[in-house]
Chain A
Amino acid sequence: MTGTFKRLVGTSALALAFSAGSALAQTELRMTWYNDGIEGEVMQGLLDRFEEANPDISVVLDVVPYKAIIESLPVQLAAGEGPDLARVTDLGGLSQYYLDMTPFISDTEYWQTSFGPFLKWLDPDGDAINGFMTQLTVTGPYVNKTLFEQAGVEMPGDGATWDDYATAVNEVAEKLEIPIPMAWDRSGHRVSGPAIAMGAKMFDAEGNPALVDDGLKAMAQRLYDWHQDGTMSKELWGSVSGSTYLGANEDFANAQVVMYMSGSWQIPQFAETIGDAFDWWAVPAPCGPAACTGMPGGAALVGLAGTEHPEEVAKLMDWLAQEEQLAEFYGKTLFIPGHLGLAEGGVSFDTQDPRAQHALETFAGAVPAISPVAFDLQGYTNNRVMFNALISRLNEAIVGELTLDEAYERMTDDVTKELAEKERQ
């Protein structure tokens, strides 16, 4: 018994000592990963192939709950206890911990041309090569087309506004007695796209965050009204606090929702859970006076500066980032490619479902229409501070704890307070 424990505690030190002396020196890389669907399995398949081609490197995929990526990983990285690679979503926020792989990559040109704008998300203040997007996401709505057909209501076409959709979905819901006409993910990121469509600028002239303006207020007011008049159910946004994420994917899949504002990442799941039970249809982002835009986003796989094997990390990343591997990865996972070449040339997605095919095309096609403001916001290091302030305070207004004006004031204060704390050195 005690032998096991001694072994456990001494593992790292012993492993180091032994591997130095042994002839078959193998470098072990640790990749911290989280799963929304099957991407972990696809990645494992790729890693197996990499290991076959590079017997001197072994890669271990450590799958953690997403909670650990958001809450524990930053502390681990700050303490110097992080893994060698990780899949992260706080792209700019963790920038200081990323490994710049430029010196270890032979063809940096390929990385620049393939991942140009996304490299900027990972390193807003420099031009390092830190990693690539495991998926690009675009926010946008899905509608239950079958319900529209059954109700005999015409679906709003191209250029339709949020108000057009609100009217239409209410009509459908009323005719068919559907409980929830419209649902949005509970997320500041999701609200930001439509707010920008309404004219929100998000930043002032100097580029400092300025969350509350007339554009944002226009969208916030609508969301507030929709919750009061029953267009949206308080159930989703009202039932948790703070910045907790909640989706309406189950309600939508159960045909309880006519229109669902979410994003491209729902596709693989809808293809599986809804299948052909009804036509779930991705539609282009509805319009406001300023734009017809969703928010870009996504997760990235990055190398981490704390690694003892930067060269091997770069070798693995460079191999994974090649078109062949990425095409397979995106194709199997049904993720929107975060690789410019593949986005243009098209990835052959591994699905027979016409709804999924259509949704993938719609979201991929929405990328050019994304407002520059949305790109700036996504690339801004502290964007999660803004998203969290937006959703948590707006939510407190919707459930009646604050007035909208108080909520606007609190949002601004929250952002100022947090940024001031961060600035303090």
Chain B
Amino acid sequence: MSDAAATSSRTIRGLLGATRGTNGRLHWTDVFTYMYLGFGVLLMFGPVIWLVLSSFKTSSALLEFPPTFLPLGQIEIQVEGYDDPLPLFEATLEDGSVKQLAQVRRIGIMSQMVDPENPGETIQVPINRRTEVREFRMALENYRDPLERFDFTRYLYNSVVVTVVATLVTLLINSMAAYGLAIYEFRGRAAIMLLVIGTLMIPITVILVPVYLVVTSMGMINSLWAVILPGAATPTGVFLLRQYMLTIPRDLIEAARMDKASEWAIYWKVVLPLAMPAMAVLAIFSIMWRWNDFLWPLIVLNRSEVYTLQVGLNAFQGELDVQWHYILAMTVVTLIPVTLVFAFLQKFITTGIASSGMK
């Protein structure tokens, strides 16, 4: 560290110019690099891990301050002479000794306790002189209760269907359009490009009602098509694919034309395989958008058999009651598939985006 201070003037320079590591001993910029990366890991993963840990806590444990790191639950023990198990406390008695006692009941600010080893005699302890005895325990009911209440597999099925079909439709029609816009020169192309780019980033939130009207008049309310179709013709996808296809060498296409290949064949045999990295990026984005979509499905799907996971898992959110223990648990449930996809395809995803980027 003192080394770093001594060479502080080189700090910025070293970092900014650094493209290659040093051979042999660790340069201080390497130290900085790994500190930055270490902090990055903590910052990016930490919140998610905290969410997962919290989701296993009971609703009363969630209210505690300071929060415990691991989910804990109060120990309950069976005491002779009592039918139900009693909660165990650590009580400070009047003589100053500390003893583990089981609570029978609480009256006002006093609690009636018994010694599990000597259940005959009850002891009065003020409630502020006892603390719960706890052990590591996961509140699985946070997951079980809501999942039991819903037709979880049905929602999962719907979500998968929506995600897969929507992504396939998006890939097909977007790549066709991108092909048309990238490979041909024709009148009207500039106008179409303007249209695509102009609407590139209109958030669906602001045209929710008109889109709903269109979907209603097509009779698609409460069918999965109402979620699949409206987002299929993404300007983002067309734009991304077209920009990538522009980089494909024209000679290849001309050569195919010489061989009397049809335009359709050129599209799917020549251009599409070459555009695969960009297609993969669009596929990932499409999967992400569709899987996470909440606002739109909430409006067009109001029958439980067509709910997607995002709608179904939020259905327990009432008018007057914020139940953090369920919210956290259900958030974790929606996270799992995305994380799994990411874990398996991580390298593929990141290199795909990096290489096709937004050219």
Contact = CB atoms under 8 A, between A and B. Distances in A.
Given A63-B304, A81-B221, A273-B59, A149 B109 contact: yes
Contacts of A72: 298-299, 302
B152 interface: no
Contacts of A41: 149
B302 A146 contact: no
Contact of A68 (B60, B219, B298): B298
For chain A, give the interface size range.
Answer: 35 or more
Contacts of B298: 64-65, 67-68, 72
Nearest to A262: B320
A30 interface: yes
A331 interface: no
Interface string B147-170: 001100000000001000100000
A337 to B, nearest CB: 18
Nearest to B161: A4
Contact of B302 (A35, A76, A150, A279): A76
A32 B298 CA distance: 13
Interface in A190-214: none
A178 B105 CA distance: 25
A276 B105 contact: yes
A253 interface: yes
Given A75-B299, A273-B59, A9 B316 contact: no
Given A30-B303, A67-B298, A76-B302, A37 B318 contact: yes
B317 A79 contact: no
Contacts of A60: 303-305
Contact of A79 (B165, B216, B303): B216
Nearest to B107: A276
Contacts of A263: 320
B133 to A, nearest CB: 16
A406 to B, nearest CB: 29
A37 B326 CA distance: 12
Given A75-B209, A79-B212, A8 B304 contact: no
Contacts of B319: 34, 36, 66, 69, 89, 245, 299
B299 A5 contact: no
Interface residues of B, number: 44
B108 A249 contact: no
B106 interface: yes
Interface in A68-101: 68-69, 71-73, 75-76, 79-81, 83, 89
A35 B318 contact: yes
A273 B58 CA distance: 10
A279 B111 CA distance: 13
A62 B321 CA distance: 19
A30 B307 CA distance: 14
* A35, A60, A61 interface centre (most CB from chain B within 10 Å): A35
A65 B299 CA distance: 11
B171 interface: no
B302 to A, nearest CB: 6
B315 interface: yes
A9 B220 contact: yes
Interface in B120-159: 127-128, 149-150
A11 interface: yes
A265 interface: yes
B318 A36 contact: yes
Contacts of A247: 320-322
A9 B316 CA distance: 28
Interface string B261-303: 0000000000000000000000000000000000000110011
A36 B323 CA distance: 9
B225 A5 contact: yes
A280 B111 CA distance: 16
Given A9-B225, A149-B108, A273-B60, A36 B302 contact: no
15 contacts: A5-B225, A11-B223, A60-B304, A65-B314, A66-B318, A68-B302, A72-B298, A72-B299, A81-B216, A83-B303, A249-B322, A254-B65, A266-B320, A273-B59, A273-B63
Given A66-B319, A75-B299, 7 more contacts: A12-B223, A34-B315, A66-B317, A73-B302, A76-B221, A266-B320, A279-B108
Interface of B: 59-60, 63-65, 105-106, 108-109, 127-128, 149-150, 161, 165, 209, 212-213, 216, 219-225, 298-299, 302-306, 311, 314-322, 324
Interface of A: 1, 4-5, 8-9, 11-12, 30, 32, 34-37, 40-41, 60-69, 71-73, 75-76, 79-81, 83, 89, 146, 149-150, 185, 245, 247, 249-250, 253-254, 263, 265-266, 269, 272-273, 276-277, 279, 299
